[in-house]
């Protein structure tokens, strides 16, 4: 099980070539963006005009991301091992480090993660850090949320997707 986020330091070069790939899934299209060596973003394509991007899936990191997403959506892959751009620091990085430790098919709360980080009462800050996550599914923020008045809440990709992902993982976890 990979419990470490593999961040790679990155300086964006606006004239550099970026590779994009639109990955179709049962929860909607997922846009994968990478440079030649790291993933820059794995996000839902809802607010992205796909025609604005040239699809160049020939980057090794994109090919690896597609292969690992195929394994995930086939129910075989439980954790990811991909190089991610270093886009966070401090508390946000600490939160994301906790997210990858949440077991496949389970869920925890923002408050529990805050407590694990020694920041009891910082549940909202954890939620804010989760909303900054550009690596949907890869850094599994869908496995954390708040439960208020018996209703689940919290997921930048939408509550319907969160529930579908959690049910999918539960169904494939053997529990």
* Domains in the chain: boundaries: 7-73, 88-173
The Cα–Cα gap between 123 and 38 comes to 30
For residue 75, the model assigns a pLDDT of 95
> Is residue 14 classed as helix, strand or coil in its secondary structure?
coil
Q: Which token pair is 102?
A: 């949440």
Its pTM stands at 0.84
Q: How confident is the model at residue 2 (pLDDT cuts 50, 70, 90)?
A: very low
Please determine whether the domains at 7-73 and 88-173 fall in the same fold group of CATH: no
pLDDT at 6: 46
The third-level CATH classification (topology) of the domain covering 7-73 is Double Stranded RNA Binding Domain (3.30.160)
The angle at the Cα of 13, spanning 9 to 17, to the nearest 5 degrees, equals: 105
pLDDT digits (tens, 9 = 90+) for 121-132: 999 999 999 999
Topology given in CATH for the domain delimited by 88-173: Arc Repressor Mutant, subunit A (1.10.10)
Residues in contact with 82: Cβ distance below 8 Å, sequence separation at least 6, in sequence order: 6, 39, 61, 64, 65, 68, 138
- Give the separation between CA 173 and CA 167, rounded to whole angstroms: 10
Could you list the active site residues?
141
Q: At how many degrees (to 10) do helices 90-99 and 123-131 cross?
A: 80
């Amino acid at each position: 099980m990979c419990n470490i986020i593999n961040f790679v330091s990155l300086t964006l070069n606006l004239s550099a070539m970026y590779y994009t790939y639109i990955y179709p899934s049962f929860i909607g299209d997922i846009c994968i963006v990478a440079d030649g060596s790291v993933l820059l973003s794995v996000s839902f394509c809802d607010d992205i005009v796909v025609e604005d991007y040239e699809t160049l899936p020939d980057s090794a990191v994109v090919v690896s991301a597609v292969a690992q997403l195929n394994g995930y959506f086939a129910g075989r892959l439980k954790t990811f091992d991909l190089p991610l751009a270093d886009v966070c620091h401090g508390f946000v990085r600490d939160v994301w480090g906790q997210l990858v430790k949440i077991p496949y098919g389970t869920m925890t709360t923002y408050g529990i993660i805050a407590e694990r980080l020694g920041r009891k009462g910082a549940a909202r800050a954890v939620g804010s850090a989760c909303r900054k996550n550009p690596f949907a599914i890869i850094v599994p923020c869908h496995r954390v949320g708040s439960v208020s008045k018996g209703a689940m809440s919290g997921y930048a990709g939408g509550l319907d997707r969160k529930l579908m992902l959690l049910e999918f993982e539960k169904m494939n976890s053997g529990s």
